[in-house]
Chain A
Amino acid sequence: MVTNGDDEVEVVPVRHVGRWIGALVVALVLAMLVHTVVFSKASGGTSSRFGWAIVFHYFTTREVLDGLALTLELTALAMTIGIVLGMIIAIMRLSHNRLVSGTAWSYVWFFRGTPVYVQLLFWFNIAALYKTVTIGVPFMNVTFLHLDLVAFFTPFHTAMVGLGLNEAAYMSEIGRSGLISVDEGQIEAATSLGMTRSQTLRLVILPQAMRVIIPPTGNEVISMLKTTSLAIAVSVTELLTAVTNIYSANYEIMPLLLVASLWYLIVTTILSIGQYYVERHYAKGALRTPPPTPLQRLRQDVRGVASKMRSPRRVRPKAAA
């Protein structure tokens, strides 16, 4: 057909045959997966293979929810210790004083260099070495703090301290990468305004470093959520311990592991969504136009597909050329 460019003509998009075949294969595999996980029956039985009835039964029992609460509490406290101590160590690493920066380096070297599992066992048994701890001025009779370690290191405190101190080593490297990512010119500008070093850090460097610090920190929070399951080593009844306690009595191992996994997935999903919005907040000024929220993106996608379905694209060849 020949047009003079004034009439509208329909645009026929290229058909991606390979893409369609690929999608078909993937859909088939997904269907098989759904079938075996959800619908197939256990060999010789009438209940589903994965025991979903048992999963749902135990999903919101007292023990599981208590375990979940303990997991969340442990994650929050250990991450708080990790983030606060980690930032202090990161700032110490950048100190001009060699003793200060060297100490920070050694901390990271030690806690990153030994398995967290070993560290947990170490703190669990620390009271065997020190019954009490007294913090004061050496060689003088000055005391600031007196701590009874036997009483303090309950299983929960052991896990909290062990995970928190280990996390601080990783968080300090994340913090340091954020701090050194801020352009030197920003520091010079703050200095030339008469800001002190601590004002420069608080008002100029840290807010901009956050953009770099947030994504890996979100990663660490999610990682910590799951690492708390190691607290089973020091007999804290967090989520995983709770389900193992249940299945050691009723032998429904797989359904109860599914209960724990589903809860970990749910919390991880919520944390990921939270991270997205925190990132958006700290991206202020870094991008000319902020990226759309998932909701806005979904709306755009729906609108795009809907308009394609409604009518084929038509153009005037002259205007399109």
Chain B
Amino acid sequence: MSTMTPAVAMVEARGVHKSYAGVEVLRGVDLTVQRGEVTCLIGPSGSGKSTLLRCINHLEKHDAGELRVDGHLVGYELRDGKLYERNNKQICAERSRIGMVFQRFNLFQHLTVLENITIGQVKVRNVSAAAATQRARELLARVGLDAKEENYPSQLSGGQQQRVAIARALAMEPKLMLFDEPTSALDPELVGEVLDVMKDLARSGMTMVVVTHEMGFAREVADTLYFLDQGVIEESGDPREVLANPQSARLRSFLSKVL
């Protein structure tokens, strides 16, 4: 641990297990996300993609296996040969550096667009209100919504809400961004505007893990593609390779349904 090399991966999962009420959702997942890379997770519903994502920022506790973010064990600390559970404060601090974007946006309904983006900076990061507002305005301009800062989420379209949600996550200056099916709840004509923001983010060098059904996005933007099925990684590699040449029967049948 003390001799960490600078090339340590952003996310490193080894044999990660997770079950809910006796049902094994993750059955030994291995995955590596390098810094600055975009990783896409695809797979049928119930395959464990979202659960894996939620384990990475400790929204869910994994049961077994080793899961590291930025070299640190998620939720635990290894000292004198024992795993110490981290306390809430430490876990919250870790989480605040991992951005998450949800399928259903989950913007705070009672706050304006601007307040949605400043609240985390001010309350978690202790940034001054003025600095937080300035950063929020820059981010809104970046996602093309600078005219909407006084609106409430319910007054925005799904695509606009999701772009605000991305800005809200970016406001925390994350080192890693997690996307949980960010375009699945959108009308087809609104998918493009969200994917454009994500592509722009990928080009800027952000490390991203994206659970998605957008194969075009995966092929174009992802550095690595993982296909999950029944809680294990069935296939992985360069997305163009994997999508063009599926090795397993499961991936072939999955792709025949979604493409």
Question: What residues of chain A have their CB less than 8 Å away from a CB belonging to chain B?
Answer: 183, 185-186, 188-197, 199, 203-204, 207-208, 282, 284-288
**Nearest CB to that of B91 among chain A residues?**
A194
Given contacts A192-B57, A194-B92, A284-B152, contact A199 B124 (CB under 8 A): yes
A194 partner, pick from B93, B108, B152, B168, beta carbons under 8 A: B93
A-chain residues with CB within 8 Å of residue B82 when the two chains form the complex? none
**Nearest CB to that of B151 among chain A residues?**
A285
Q: How far is the CA of A31 from the CA of B96 in the complex (A)?
A: 68
Contact A195 B59 (CB under 8 A): no
Contact B102 A285 (CB under 8 A): no
B-chain residues with CB within 8 Å of residue A192 when the two chains form the complex? 57, 59, 95, 98-100, 169
A-chain residues with CB within 8 Å of residue B102 when the two chains form the complex? 185, 188-189
Contact B123 A285 (CB under 8 A): no
6 contacts between A and B (CB under 8 A): A185-B105, A189-B100, A192-B100, A192-B169, A195-B120, A208-B109
Question: In terms of DSSP, what is the predominant structure of the interface of chain A?
Answer: helix
Given contacts A199-B124, A284-B152, contact A193 B96 (CB under 8 A): yes
**Nearest CB to that of B108 among chain A residues?**
A204
Contact B108 A189 (CB under 8 A): yes
Q: How far is the CA of A254 from the CA of B95 in the complex (A)?
A: 68
CB B178 to nearest CB in A, in angstroms, measures 8
B107 partner, pick from A189, A207, A287, beta carbons under 8 A: A189
Given contacts A193-B96, A199-B124, contact A286 B88 (CB under 8 A): no
Given contacts A185-B102, A203-B123, A286-B154, contact A194 B172 (CB under 8 A): yes
Contact B110 A284 (CB under 8 A): yes
Q: How far is the CA of A197 from the CA of B88 in the complex (A)?
A: 9
Contact A186 B108 (CB under 8 A): yes
**Nearest CB to that of A184 among chain B residues?**
B106
Interface membership of B38, Cβ < 8 A = no
